Structure formats: structure tokens, C-alpha cells
Amino acid sequence: MSQYLTLEKAKKTKKHYENFPVATLLFPKAHRDAATLLYSFARNGDDIADEGKLTKIQRHKLLKEIEINIKAINNKKKIDDPFFKDIEKIVNKYSIDPKLFERLISAFKQDINNKTYIDFNDLINYCNKAACPAGEMILKLFNEDQKRNIGYANNLCRALALIGISQDIHEDFLKGRIYIPTKEMFKFKLTKSDIETQTFNQNWKMFKTPWLKRIELLLKKGSPLSKNLNGRLKLQIKILIAGADLLISRLRREDCDWFIDPPKISKLDWLILFSQSIIKK
């Protein structure tokens, strides 16, 4: 990487971008620092695919540099880049499969090349690469990566990714990307000009009901994860699920304009969710 991301820089990056808590104070310090660096890896790759005015060739070149370092870790070769030396330490300490990083890189490439998705399954396949590896990594940090837990975590990650997509439709459009599948756009008579002009009309309001129901179903399928965990990670997942529920309820509101004022979760919201999750068994 052209600029070495220290742990302190990674923490600042996490605070700036984070929608859901990835490495909160609930985690023991070692796990928190590891999760922060893993998040920084994902955020950096996502920014390469999304941010700035780089050409496709330039973006792919930067991702290739990341890919080379991950393959070196996977093949037990010498790592020169300081950031990837840190990643290598985490991989070795927690036995994280480097292929999870490769799946994320595949999603970054897809963001550069793919600007639309055909149907819902096509979008879920993208989420399987862009979101699910992160959940598996967190489970691995806590040695909770049993097959059943991974299945639950994958559904949670898909739900969280789709919530993020719902919040960022207009922002993603400005980057030249529409995640809402073309079949959905056609079915509900949604148009690119709606997004461009931030016109959240009746067609979009009709679309959001079945769209949010699918997200809720994924969240429900993933919710048993919290019952399978213990300690701080259990509490973290309970809070995360509660946060997702809150955002879905706000996205569903009749007066919620997804383009102009998509809902967010404030620090006060997180404090309330934290308190409720402690009390609720």
C-alpha cells in the first residue's frame, strides 16, 4: 500500500465511515485492535473501488497491489508492506483464512466493473463477497466460527449490507452505481431520473415494502446467532441486531425519504440500544 495505515489511523477511519459498530469497546483490546485493522483493510479496498476520480485501470492496479500481498500471506512468502505485516500477524494469531480477504477483493473488483445487478439473487451473490467475509472474520477472532454460526452470521451480514444499500441509493448513483436490481426497477417502475433528481415518489414507496420484508427475513434468519454466543461478542451481536431493527423501522416510515434524508443511528440511539440489550435476555 502506498500509505501505511497505523492502528491509530485505522481507528479514525472506522469512526468516520462506520454505520454499524464493528470493533466497539465491548471487545477485549486485542480483539478490538484486530477487528479495527481488518475493518481498515475492507474500508481501504472499498474506497479504492469507489472514491476519487481514478480510472478503472488505476483502481485495478491498486487492488492488484493488495491482492499480491494477500496471496503472499496465503503462500507464506515474505511481506514487505508494514500494513500487511500487521494483517499477517492477525491472520496467523487467529488462523483467519486468507481466502476471506480474496472474497472481499473480488467484491471490490465487482464494484469497479459492475454498475447494475439483474435480480435479487444477483445482488445477494455480491453481498456474499462484499459483506459475509467480515462476519466470518469476527467469528474467527472469538473462535466462534462453527458452521451453524457462519450461516447465521452470513444472513446478518446480508441484511446489514442491504440496509446500507437502502440508505445510500442516491450516494451510490453519484458514483455511477445502482444496486437496486434492474428487475425490481422495471417491476415497480423506478427510474434512474428518480434517483438523480431525488424524487422518492409513490413507486418507490410501493417498492420499499416488499424490499424491507426481504431484509427483515434475512435478519430473522441470522438472529439466532446471538443465542449461540457468549460474553462480549453475544452482547455486541444483540446490539447490532437491535440497530438493524431500528433502521428498518425508520426506513419503513411513510415520511422517510431515502434519497434526501435516509435514517441513521445516533450515539444516543446506540446508548439506548446498549442499555436495552443488557436488560433484555
**52: which residues sit within 8 A by CB, 6+ positions away?**
none
For residue 258, pLDDT beyond 60: yes
Higher-scoring residue by pLDDT: 15, 242: 242
Dihedral pair phi/psi, residue 263, rounded to 5°? -70, 150
Residues 191-203, mean pLDDT to the nearest whole number: 97
> What average pLDDT does this structure show over 124-147?
96
Mean per-residue pLDDT for 233-239?
Answer: 91
* pLDDT of the residue at 52: 82
Whole-number pLDDT of residue 281: 59
Q: Global pTM?
A: 0.90
Instruction: Evaluate if residue 77 carries a pLDDT over 90.
Output: yes
Class of domain 116-281: mainly alpha
- Check residue 191 and report its DSSP letter: -
State the Cα–Cα distance between residues 175 and 54, nearest whole angstrom: 12
Reply yes or no on whether the pLDDT at 1 is more than 70.
Answer: no
In this structure, of 35-44, 143-152, 220-229, the range with the lowest mean pLDDT score is 35-44
Lowest mean pLDDT among 75-79, 118-122, 149-153, 155-159: 75-79
The residue type of 163 is I
Polymer length in residues for the chain: 281
214-217: long-range pairs with CB below 8 Å, 24+: 214/120, 214/162, 215/159, 215/162, 215/163, 215/166, 215/248, 216/159, 216/248
| DSSP, res 238 | H
Residues 6 or more apart from 191 whose CB is under 8 A from it?
A: 185
Contact 157, 127 (CB under 8 A): yes
| Mean pLDDT of the region 183-204 | 97
151 versus 28: which is more confidently predicted?
151
For helices 29-50 and 82-94, what crossing angle results, to 10°? 130
Do residues 153 and 222 lie in contact, with contact meaning Cβ atoms separated by under 8 Å? yes
Distance CA 236, CA 239 (A): 5
